[in-house]
Amino acid sequence: MEKYDLIVIGTGPGGYVAAIRAAQLGKRVAVIEDRDVGGTCLNRGCIPTKTLVHTAEVLEELKTCDKIGIDIDNVTCDFARMHERKGEVVAQLRGGVENLFKANKIDLIRGKGFIADSRTVTVGEERYEADHILIATGSRPLLPPIPGLDLEGVVTSDDMLEGSGVDCDNLVIIGGGVIGVEFASVYHALGRKVTIIEAMERILPTLDKEISQNMSMLLKRRGVQVFTGARVSKVEKGEDGLIVRFTAKDKEQSVDAERVLVSIGRRANTEGLLAEGMDLGLERGLIPVDTAYKTCIDGIYAIGDVIKGGIQLAHAASAEGVNAVCGMFGEKSNKNLDYVPSCIYTSPEIASVGITADMAKAQDIPVITGKAIMTANGKTIIAMGDRGFIKLIFHAETKELLGAQLMCERATDMLGSMTEAVCNHLTLDQMSAVIWPHPTFSEAIGEALEDLEGGAIHAAPRRK
């Protein structure tokens, strides 16, 4: 029986990063994977989605390039080629992960891992022993108990991203969270009819209220139907496709669809993972862990989408993997998981870190807020960017930055500096001392700071 210092089950961004860190510490490591290396993020999530988003963004720019003096006739999109490109990107990055395993002398074991006891994992008939076992099996789309979701034409985000994708002219999306809104943006850019049905009172319900309201307004203005406070009762066959029946504002309604995407969340991949008699205290399929990511069974750890109370983001799982490995081998953990940045690849992009003004109010934290409107930003005007803003939340007394919400072009690229500022408790004075380059999208951060200092937000781009 092979003996390892660490066996990692799952090779997503949590699992493979954890394995590499352990190998860098001089440990003998094996990873077990029953699907493609890279997990959901690389194969059925972040990377393929953002590849499609990029295509959609380029297509929208080409359709409006006459406004900047470029004439192009008959701009179309080849749906099949679009997904071929997605496959090429995924394959290239997947190969990169496999090469990292080889370079770090990590054994890749193909098959489904089964934890026989606190020191043994089996894959088929083979048995492997380890001092430590790390569960990083991720999650899969959640299907609610709504009648009709087993009908042909009802799909999940996995289906939308597998192979050649799901092409249709009329898409209804059940769920107005991050996944649903991103797919709505892509399919609308492709010229498809899109409808979002969200049970909460607003789409993107976990985000800053102003961001949710602004995105809802932009989607509606572009022609996307958005129903909020709407409960889907069933999906049924119609004469020419599917019919989604729901209740909104106490009124029974329905909408026709060629395809129905269910995107109401994800559930942990923990089924069939443990031998009979082993109990990790699962709660609705999720694994409780302590601050060191230890489970209730000595020697077994868990990170990523499978843990109770975790944040289902790739970079959060990677940070958890690093901290878990450092802890199990006596090294100092260095990833700060108190402030996990969040990115949404809509048009315009949405990015946030820390708390919102509403969250501060609920916690009785006194705050002051600075805001810059992007329609006054020179780079946004040049790029013909849509309505957006940057909002900074500071503690009213200490003047430390508590949170930042960005809805604008390149928001996800600018979020890194805001996350660094929140993590290091930078103050209004410290941030205001920075000279922000002009003309850039990021200079709007300086405008938001000026707003707090009593300066006027520029009504037009400044002259150089």
Cα 116 from Cα 127, distance rounded (Å) = 9
For 106, the 3-state DSSP assignment is coil
Active-site residue, selected from the candidate residues 54, 395, 438, 458? 438
What angle, rounded to 10 degrees, do the helices at 209-222 and 178-189 form? 30
Q: Which residue has the tokens 């709504």?
A: 146
Cα 446 from Cα 242, distance rounded (Å) = 50
Cα 323 from Cα 302, distance rounded (Å) = 11
3-state SS of 309-371?
Answer: CCCCCHHHHHHHHHHHHHHHCCCCCCCCCCCCCEEECCCCEEEEEECCHHHHHHCCCCEEEEE
Cα 336 from Cα 340, distance rounded (Å) = 8
- b/e map 236-268, b = 16+ CB within 10 Å: eeeeebbbbbbebeeeeeebebbbbbbbbebbb
Q: How many CA atoms lie within 13 A of 282 on its CB side?
A: 15
Cα 448 from Cα 451, distance rounded (Å) = 5
Is 315 among the residues known to form the active site?
A: no
> Is the distance from CB of 357 to CB of 367 less than 8 angstroms?
yes
Query: How many Å is the Cα radius of gyration of the chain?
Result: 24
User: And the tokens for 406?
Assistant: 């960005």
- DSSP conformational letter for 262: E
- b/e map 386-397, b = 16+ CB within 10 Å: bbbbbbbbbbee
Helices (H), 190-313: 209-222
CA dihedral 108, 47, 305, 350 (to 10 degrees): 160
Known catalytic residues? 438
